[in-house]
């Protein structure tokens, strides 16, 4: 079991993420999926678990700028990157896909890129891939998307890495939650909502499933602070 470094989230998960589990972090626009994923990678790298963050959708410089602008009290991100404990990597898979429409991506193309990244960062034990939306764009057919995702997860698992993938939901409301195809593939599923209550947006996070843990069955509030993400979950008896 690996602690996420976020106390309330560990409580929700029943102690943390089981070794070698593959995690889906899903949420609507503005819920903070990328920030939470980065926060976990940062926390693990601080504890000596080398972590990587692969940006499929945006430039790594933009990711770091947004993270630093939000987590203003976290001052050692660059130190962790320079010491090779935290790797922030920009993938060109998406840009190649939209610029070269004549090239049809195959699963081996994606695996080849991941192999190169992992080979260049051999000590990575926790890997964020942000986000599955890019893979959905590349593999538009459901069958191909599922095949690609299963292949990628198997590859990461064989390398003894915990993978965390972010994914966009069509809605931010918990009452409108739909189980996308990828929900059935992952070991752990976390969902982030922005429920509307009295003209206010209420952020909530929930563990839909977590294999190998006795997780909590409740959606709890969270907040994004200058110190990181704070999940407000009580300890179960």
Q: What is the pLDDT of residue 198?
A: 65
| DSSP single-letter state for residue 32 | -
Look at residue 225 and tell me if it is in a domain. Answer: yes
Q: Is the pTM of this model over 0.95?
A: no
Domain containing residue 27: CATH number: 3.40.50.300
In the chain, the DSSP E strands lie at 22-27, 51-55, 86-90, 126-130, 162-168, 188-197, 200-210, 220-225, 228-231
How many helices (H) and strands (E) would you count in the chain? 8, 9
Look at residue 237 and tell me if it is in a domain. Answer: no
The residue among 205, 168, 236, 196 whose CA lies nearest residue 28 is: 168
Q: In Å, how far are 131, 156, 174 from 60, measured between CA atoms? A: 13, 21, 30
Look at residue 149 and tell me if it is in a domain. Answer: yes
Q: What is the pLDDT of residue 140?
A: 76
- The number of distinct structural domains making up the chain is 1
DSSP string, 5-28: S-HHHHHHHTSSBPTT-EEEEEE-
Look at residue 84 and tell me if it is in a domain. Answer: yes
Question: Residue 142 contacts by C-beta under 8 Å, 6 or more apart in sequence?
Answer: 181
Q: What is the pLDDT of residue 96?
A: 65
Which residue in this structure is represented by tokens 């029943």? 14
**Which class for 64: exposed (0-12), middle (13-18), buried (19 or more C-beta within 10 A)?**
middle
Question: Residue 114 contacts by C-beta under 8 Å, 6 or more apart in sequence?
Answer: 54, 152, 155, 156
3-state SS assignment for residue 215:
coil
Look at residue 162 and tell me if it is in a domain. Answer: yes
Question: Residue 61 contacts by C-beta under 8 Å, 6 or more apart in sequence?
Answer: none
Look at residue 65 and tell me if it is in a domain. Answer: yes
Residues spanned by the domain of 56:
7-231
Look at residue 90 and tell me if it is in a domain. Answer: yes
53-50-12-150 Cα dihedral, nearest 10 degrees: 60
* Separation between Cα atoms, residue 93 and residue 133, nearest integer Å: 12
Per-residue pLDDT tens digits of the chain, which is 237 residues long: 899 999 999 999 999 998 889 999 999 888 999 999 999 999 999 999 999 999 987 889 999 999 999 999 999 999 999 999 999 988 877 666 666 555 566 777 777 888 888 777 778 999 999 988 888 888 878 888 888 889 889 999 998 999 999 998 876 666 666 667 777 889 999 999 988 776 778 899 999 999 888 889 999 999 999 999 999 988 765
* Separation between Cα atoms, residue 164 and residue 168, nearest integer Å: 13
Look at residue 1 and tell me if it is in a domain. Answer: no
């Amino acid at each position: 079991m690996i602690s996420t470094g976020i106390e309330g989230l560990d409580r929700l998960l029943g102690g943390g993420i089981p070794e070698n589990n593959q995690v889906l972090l899903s949420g609507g626009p503005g819920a903070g999926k990328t920030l939470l994923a980065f926060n976990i990678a940062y926390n693990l790298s601080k504890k000596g678990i080398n972590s990587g963050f692969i940006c499929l959708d945006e430039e790594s410089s933009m990711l770091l700028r947004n993270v630093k602008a939000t987590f203003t009290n976290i001052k050692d991100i660059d130190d962790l990157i320079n010491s090779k404990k935290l790797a922030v990597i920009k993938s060109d898979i998406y840009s190649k896909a939209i610029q070269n429409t004549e090239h049809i991506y195959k699963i081996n193309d994606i695996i080849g890129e991941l192999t190169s990244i992992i080979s260049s960062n051999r000590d990575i034990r926790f890997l964020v891939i942000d986000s599955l939306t890019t893979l959905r764009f590349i593999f538009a057919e459901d069958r191909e998307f599922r095949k690609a995702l299963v292949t990628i997860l198997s590859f990461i698992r064989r390398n003894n890495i915990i993978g965390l993938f972010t994914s966009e939901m069509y809605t931010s409301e918990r009452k409108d939650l739909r189980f996308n195809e990828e929900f059935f593939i992952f070991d752990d599923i976390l969902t982030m909502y922005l429920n509307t209550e009295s003209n206010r947006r209420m952020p909530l996070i929930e563990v839909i499933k977590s294999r190998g843990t006795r997780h909590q069955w409740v959606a709890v509030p969270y907040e994004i602070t200058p110190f990181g993400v704070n999940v407000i979950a009580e300890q179960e008896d």
